[in-house]
Structure 1
Amino acid sequence: MELRQLEYFVAVVEEASFTRAAERVLVAQSGVSAQVRRLEAELGIALLDRGGRTVTLTEAGAAVLPFARAALAAVGGVREAVDALRGLTRGHVRVGMVTAGPAVTLTDLLASFNALHPEVEITLIEDASDALFAALRSGELDLACASLGPNPPEGVETHVIIDAAVVAAVHPGHPLARREAIEPAELAAYPLICLPRGTGVRALWDAKGVRARVAFEASDPSVLAQLAARGLGVAILPEPAAAGLHTLALGLRGQIALAWRPGGPSSPAARAFMEHARGSV
């Protein structure tokens, strides 16, 4: 088993195509295909299903993928560790960010880190919080900036960077605009505008067990606010995103946290980013 075989296998999985994987690793498609088949022959089982329009994982491939990624990450860590001992500042950090999250905070953080370590390459990946935590646990991400639900996420450590009230927001002409607070159960009588499942704010709301009709879902809090401003329902969102709307206290608070695997990232570059973030926010 060779590292390049694992590299090609991971590239095919992530690109869902032998052609795009070949472009990514700068090798002829026939070479990528041949090396992956050699890997399958050595293991004695098919890792990829080539029958559809896109290449997908077999059950065996899904089991092998985390170990292939871990092996490649370990080799990268060896190189970065040697670079660190030589006083070099190269490296690669994979950071996840919740969709429509605190971009200003993260942008400032990235800018200040880049000023200190200009040779470190950073890849940003957007997704829902649940998916980011899963990617952290699997090793696909080094760190993530994600929203927390009512219970601490399993298998990761966190450092809260933003804490804000979660409110019900309505158009100033809405019947509820005469009130300053409301019990979550009272909102069962109104159409709601919410973030999708998998986000921290939605998990906080769902934990209340209110049986209400969710009329609209969107992953961007600003879109929720725009829908509420048109009088289409009551938006459940972080208070900073409710500018221009009348807000009602719900007794809920949402948090955005920097998260990483227990013990911290393995690479020197990712550890440096984590320490910089914890000291900056």
Structure 2
Amino acid sequence: MSDQEHPTRKPGARAGALIGLGSVVVIAVVIAIVAVVVWSRTDATPAARSASTAELSSPTPTPSPAPTGFPANHAVYDATALPQANVFAVLPQLPVDAEPHASFAGYTARPLADLAPIWADPLGDPVAALPREYRYGGTTVAVIEKQNDWVHVLLTGRQGIPSAGNPAQLTGWLRTTDIELAPIDVTVEVSISARTIDIVRAGVPERIASDFAWGTDQTPTPLGRSFIHLTEVTSFEYARGLPTVYLSLQSPTLDGFGGQDVAVTAFHYHDERTGAISNGCIRLDEAAITGLAELPAGTGVSIRP
């Protein structure tokens, strides 16, 4: 066959074939890279994926609240060597209430053991002891401040008798580890100028008296906060067999009363019960004293002018 019999070859045919082959190679490489990337993401272990998710979603830990108040004291003391805080005690080593018209903390406290040490200053040593049992009450006390490790409480007794010291409401500190702490949502509010007495339960007042008798100028009713330390039926004729509700406050002017070396303020019944006529006690009618007598020991009482 002569050369003229061969088919004629077109220019550029081979170049086009090479270009087409190159495109295929590039596409294949791109597909391979995408596959590797996808495989590397999907092939991660469940644990690794969980850890990654946790790093993104874990909340910032909330720090524990710092303890409030005085530091804890775990020392052991011989409370039997300390003078007892009771209605007859005169304890100049204990402070009086610095905020007599402040509110209560909403708790009562009572010793777990026979005696609980009492501090004037929680950074020092105890100076008195609170009994768990006492014939004349005063062992369940009102709390006026609650901390993590301590409670500030009102106490029976006096810092001094009126003629030789300060007879105002005593206070002290107890360790929370030494006491039974119980919530209480009731208080008593007395206004001498308004002639009203309310029992306040969970913030809701109930008017129990719109008239009563209180102390004279020479023997005034003590003002400020105190607590019910004893309720009992006495033999006093004027009480007519109804209960007398004794408070932790004592007279600001009388060293003693009725032959006793105490002058405790109380709510009680009396036939004459209007105006400034008493020795400091608050005289009420039968319904009012009956209502007050139902309140538990340690109930806070605020008496305002």
- Please, what TM-score do these two structures have when normalized by structure 2? 0.22
Higher RCO (CA < 8 A, seq sep 6+): 1
- Higher helix fraction: Structure 1 or Structure 2? 1
Which structure: larger Rg? 2
- Higher strand fraction: Structure 1 or Structure 2? 2
- Please, what TM-score do these two structures have when normalized by structure 1? 0.23
